[in-house]
A and B are shown apart, each in its own frame.
Chain A
């Protein structure tokens, strides 16, 4: 009894209050590829989402997608469709689903799952070529997913 109580205390202390309502990757509920509920309950920041999408070291979405709004970011890839107007084509819930796990929306999609932690073949420790260790985490954390989704919804044309 006492030990359990202590564990809850330490957990709360280490993760912080803001994460109280965060949905962990394995608990995300997909409905026809879309995710209705916010992953954090905290509104996404589109400005930060814009940075994440263009940053090679974070979202690196431009590795595969072109986005006119990010014309200042050089070397945009052409593997996926252009994201101009994606906010008009898809609802917020659909975009949350696509970013969290695109394979739920597009069968066998080449797009990586940004909010998922299991089911990989030989997962590595980032780009070291070594096996994954305890630090293994989703490609984007829950709030970053929300920020990216908030940014995508602004891409109306």
Chain B
């Protein structure tokens, strides 16, 4: 007999879920800046969520506290290394980032809008791609490895100056087809375990998968410092890890697939404040 035990199953699951809901708490940075960590769902996910919630709410108290204070947040050490790079003259043009942009504070509007359509290049670009474009074409310097140490430190710096500003990526116009491609990937059940991003982060956030408390898989906190590997982790490396865990062949960091996926996932968090470098376990 093929039985659909939906009612039974739902009842059992509701009973075991209670303790795992996201924590009710407010992220106040350094005792002064309140960060928007939950907000009414943006257009892209209005049909599936009432509210979008930062991964911060799904972490333990100590982890949350660590992110609330720049002196305790290990990710800020890497943002400072990023600031050294910002001022380092490199390449044939004898320039640093600072030669063109002056203070990193001038970049506060940048992180929230990426990935973004670039009219001249005719493509959607991630922040990493834009950074490498500046290095190659304005500095005459070598590109950085997509998720290498220098690149992650630079993205940590650029996220840090945008903290408290809402993610706001455009998904219409010329970016739309890339966004659609990302959405398709988000709902594809990859690997031998046949799990999609949505299976874990849309349908089961708040529940436990083994020792892990599933969040909505938002990317407003990237790059994130993970206590597990004690380093800053780039968003494409997180995508890679999640796909690998479905026993699938992953995509490469910087691949067209991950660029599209990043745009789509970012749009699911439109309205949440940038909070990178965040702290996670």
Interface positions of A (Cβ within 8 A of B): 32-34, 56, 60, 62-64, 66, 74-82, 89, 94, 105-107, 110, 112-113, 120-132, 136, 139
Pairwise interchain contact A122-B248, C-beta atoms closer than 8 A? yes
CB-nearest residue of chain A to B9: A81
Cβ of B208 under 8 Å from chain A = yes
B107 within 8 A of A: no
**What does the 1/0 interface line of B179-198 toward A look like (CB < 8 Å)?**
00000000011111111000
Write the nearest CB–CB distance from A117 to chain B, whole angstroms: 9
Given contacts A120-B192, A122-B248, 20 further A-B contacts (CB under 8 A): A32-B1, A63-B209, A64-B209, A66-B16, A75-B208, A76-B208, A81-B5, A81-B8, A106-B5, A110-B204, A113-B194, A121-B189, A121-B248, A122-B190, A124-B244, A124-B247, A125-B249, A129-B250, A130-B249, A136-B192
* Given A64-B209, A126-B247, A129-B243, CB of A78 within 8 Å of CB of B192: no
Interface size on B, residues (CB 8 A): 39
A124–B191 CB distance below 8 A? yes
Which residues 232-281 in B have Cβ within 8 Å of A in the complex?
240, 243-250
Number of A-B contacts (CB under 8 A): 106
Out of A81, A105, A124, which one reaches B13, CB within 8 Å? A81
B residues at A contact (CB < 8 Å):
1-5, 8-9, 12-13, 15-17, 20, 188-195, 199, 203-204, 207-211, 214, 240, 243-250
* Assembly CA distance A64 to B199 (angstroms): 12
Contact A121 B210 (CB under 8 A): no
Per DSSP, chain A at the interface is loop
Residues of B within 8 A of A110 (CB): 195, 199, 203-204
Chain B residues in 8 Å Cβ range of A106? 4-5
In the A-B complex, list the 6 residue pairs whose CB atoms are closest, starting with the nearest: A75-B211, A129-B244, A32-B2, A81-B12, A131-B249, A63-B210
Q: Measured between C-beta atoms, what is the minimum distance from A82 to chain B in Å?
A: 5
Find B248's partner among A60, A82, A124 (CB 8 Å cutoff).
Answer: A124
What are the residues of chain A within 8 A of B5 when measuring CB–CB? 81, 89, 106
